[in-house]
Amino acid sequence: MSDEARVRAGSEHAGRVGLVQVYTGDGKGKTTAAVGLAVRAAGAGLRVAFVQFVKGGERSSELPMLERLGVRVERPARASTGLLAGGATDEDRRAAAETLAIAQDAIAGGAYDLVVLDEACVAAAYGLVDEVHLLAALRGRPVHVEVVLTGRGATDALLEAADLVTEMRAVRHPFDRGVKARKGIEF
Ligand code: ATP
Ligand code: MG
């Protein structure tokens, strides 16, 4: 079905057709927005998977809460990424491939109404995953599956594939004046 046909069908059967959303940009709030949507969806009885690319190291505080709400949380990366420290490591690539496989299954399997691919835009922008695989998963998704991709630097092809694009714009951030990431606020 074409995207237009999906949208038309959705207006006739409200809530039955899943779309593609991208939250990108350099401002704070992309992952937070996706977490908020996951909570809302779970509250409505939708089945939710939250699949995180790139992020390793300490688990962010929202993940156990999502699990308590019945959300399936997947986060294969074990170590902190080397992306910012000069380049992707072998572990980054291994984790990204594992995360992609989980994402593909979660989308194609049809067992979830909402699949969040947190930081998938970053993974694609840095070439940790080939965007071709993400695009194919989006195109082939069962009609009821909504997919949300977050992360800075969404590629043109991912933006093109989305029904909804929100760009968070950084107007000011406390990091700029040296305030460190705070538990419960930034992670
Ligand atoms: P959050 O997880 O708080 O919703 P985000 O998903 O929009 O943020 P990312 O690009 O994933 O932001 O950045 C990861 C980390 O960097 C988070 O701890 C986030 O709070 C922080 N951050 C977000 N925007 C900025 C910014 N403009 N300057 C500095 N740090 C930022
Ligand atoms: Mg984020």
What is the band of 154 on the pLDDT scale with cuts at 50, 70, 90? very high
Query: What is the per-residue pLDDT for 88?
Result: 87
Q: How confident is the model over 56-76, as pLDDT tens digits?
A: 888 999 999 999 999 999 999
CA of 22 to the centre of ligand 1 (A): 15
What is the band of 1 on the pLDDT scale with cuts at 50, 70, 90? low
Q: Are 150 and 20 in contact (CB under 8 A)?
A: no
CA of 186 to the centre of ligand 2 (A): 9
Cα angle, residue 49 at apex, residues 138 and 183 outer, rounded to 5°? 120
Q: Are 141 and 18 in contact (CB under 8 A)?
A: yes
CA of 26 to the centre of ligand 1 (A): 8
Q: Which ligand is nearest to the CA of 52?
A: 2
Mutate to test the pocket of ligand 1, among 23, 26, 28, 152 (most ligand atoms within 8 A of CB): 28
* Topology of the domain covering 3-169: Rossmann fold (3.40.50)
Question: Domain spans of the chain?
Answer: 3-169
Q: How confident is the model over 164-173, as pLDDT tens digits?
A: 999 999 999 9
Q: What mean pLDDT comes out for the span 108-118?
A: 98
CA of 27 to the centre of ligand 1 (A): 7
CA of 141 to the centre of ligand 2 (A): 23
The response to whether residue 60 sits with its C-beta less than 6 Å from ligand 1 reads: no
CA of 139 to the centre of ligand 2 (A): 24
The response to whether residue 152 sits with its C-beta less than 6 Å from ligand 1 reads: yes
Mutate to test the pocket of ligand 1, among 22, 23, 31 (most ligand atoms within 8 A of CB): 31
Residue of 115, 49, 123 lying closest to 81 (CA atoms): 123
pTM (2 d.p.) = 0.91
* Burial bucket for residue 55 (CB in 10 Å: 0-12, 13-18, 19+): buried
User: How confident is the prediction for the chain on average, in pLDDT?
Assistant: 92
The response to whether residue 55 sits with its C-beta less than 6 Å from ligand 1 reads: no
By the CB criterion, residues less than 5 angstroms from ion ligand 2 are 30-31
